[in-house]
Amino acid sequence: MALRVQEERGFRFVDEGSGQVLMLLHGLFGALSNWQGVVDRFSKNFRVVIPMLPIYEMPIKEAGLEGLRKFTEDFVAMKNLNDMIIMGNSLGGHVALIYTLKNPQKVKKLILTGSSGLFEDSMGGSYPKRGNYEYIRERVAYTFYDPKVASKELVDEVFETTGSIPKCMRIVAIAKSAQRHNMATEIPKIKAPTLLVWGLNDTITPPIVAHEFNRLIPNSSLRFIDKCCHAPMMEHPEKFNELVEEFLVT
C-alpha cells in the first residue's frame, strides 16, 4: 500500500494507524518508501508518523542539524505528540538524538539504525556530483550490501534531486553540519531505552560506530544484521521489524 502524504500548516507527513506514537525520521537522501515495511508492520498497533524533513527546501542559513531539530520540535508541537518512540536512520538518527536530548520528556524509547552523530562516511567520502548519473548510481548502490536494492527508481530520485543547485547546496551544508557535530560527550545523558540496529557490513557508519554508540548510551542494546549495509529497514525489512518488535514489547 502506497503511503498517503498529508499536508497541514505547512508540514507534509504520513500519519497511519492509532495508539502510541512511533515517529520515523529519514536520512539525507531518504524517501518515504524507505519506511514502507515499518509502516506496514507497525501501523496495526501504533500510530506511525513520518514528517518529511525539509532538507531540500529549508532556508540555506538554517540548513543544518539545529534547523532540522527545530523543525522536528515544531512538527511535534503542531501534532501535539507525546510519549513517543522515535526511530531514525542515518541523518534522521542524528536528528533524533539531538531532539531527545532537548526534549527528554517527550521520548519514551529511541531506535537508531546507521545513525550519524559519531562518525559517518557520507556519499562514500565525497559530495554529490551534478549531472553524473553513473556516479549517483554508484553512490546509491554504496548504501546497500546488495547493489540490486538500489533500484532504478531510487537512483532516478536521487539523480533528480542532485540536479538542482539549490538542493545540492543544502545537502552539502547539512552533511557538513552532521560531520562537524560529534555527540560523544552528549549522548551519555540520554535516559530513554535505546535499540541500535546496525548492518554488519555498513560502510558509511561502520560496526565500530555502533559499538561506540552502545558504549556511550547508558541504557542501550545493540543488534547486528548480516549481509546488510546502511539501511537495514530496506535491505532486511522482516529481520529489522522482528528486532524492533522485540524491543517495543519489553
Assign 52 to helix, strand or coil.
Answer: coil
Encode the chain (250 residues) as per-residue pLDDT tens digits. 689 999 999 999 999 999 999 999 999 887 788 899 999 999 999 999 999 999 989 999 999 999 999 999 999 999 999 999 999 999 999 999 999 999 999 999 999 999 999 986 654 444 555 668 888 888 888 889 998 888 888 888 888 888 788 888 898 899 899 989 999 999 999 999 999 999 999 999 999 999 999 999 999 999 999 999 999 999 999 999 999 999 999 8
Domain 6-119+181-248 CATH assignment equals 3.40.50.1820:
yes
Residue 242 has a pLDDT of 98
Does the pTM exceed 0.85?
yes
Residues 223, 187: contact at Cβ < 8 Å?
no
Q: What are phi and psi of 51, to 5 degrees?
A: -75, 140
Query: Alpha-carbon distance 93 to 112, whole Å?
Result: 5
Position 25, amino acid? L
DSSP secondary structure, 111-146, as one string: EEES--SS---GGGGS-PPTT-HHHHHHHHHTT-SS
